[in-house]
Amino acid sequence: MTRRNYSADFKLQVVHEVLETGNNAVVARKHDINANMLARWVRQYKANHEVTASRGKPNQMTKEEQQKIMQEYTEISTENEQ
C-alpha cells in the first residue's frame, strides 16, 4: 500500500469542512481519509492556523473531480434521508 500525499490547499479545505460540520468521521469517509489523520490536521490548524503539505508530490483532485464527488455525495445523502 502506498502512502498518499495531500497538498496544503486540500488539507485546509477538508479542515474547514470539518469545522463547519463538526463531524470528523463523516468528512473523513467522504474524502476517503483516515479519521485520526483528519483529527490531527484539525488540531494542527487550531494550534497554528495553518496546515502544511505532505512531503513529496501532492495528490490533488481537479475541480471536475471535486464537483463529481460532491454531486455523488449529495445524491447519496438524499437517498439515505429517504
Tens of pLDDT, residue by residue over 48-68, are 876 766 554 445 666 777 788
Q: Which residues, 6+ apart, have CB-to-CB distance to 55 below 8 Å? A: 5
pTM of the model: 0.60
Tens of pLDDT, residue by residue over 17-27, are 998 888 899 99
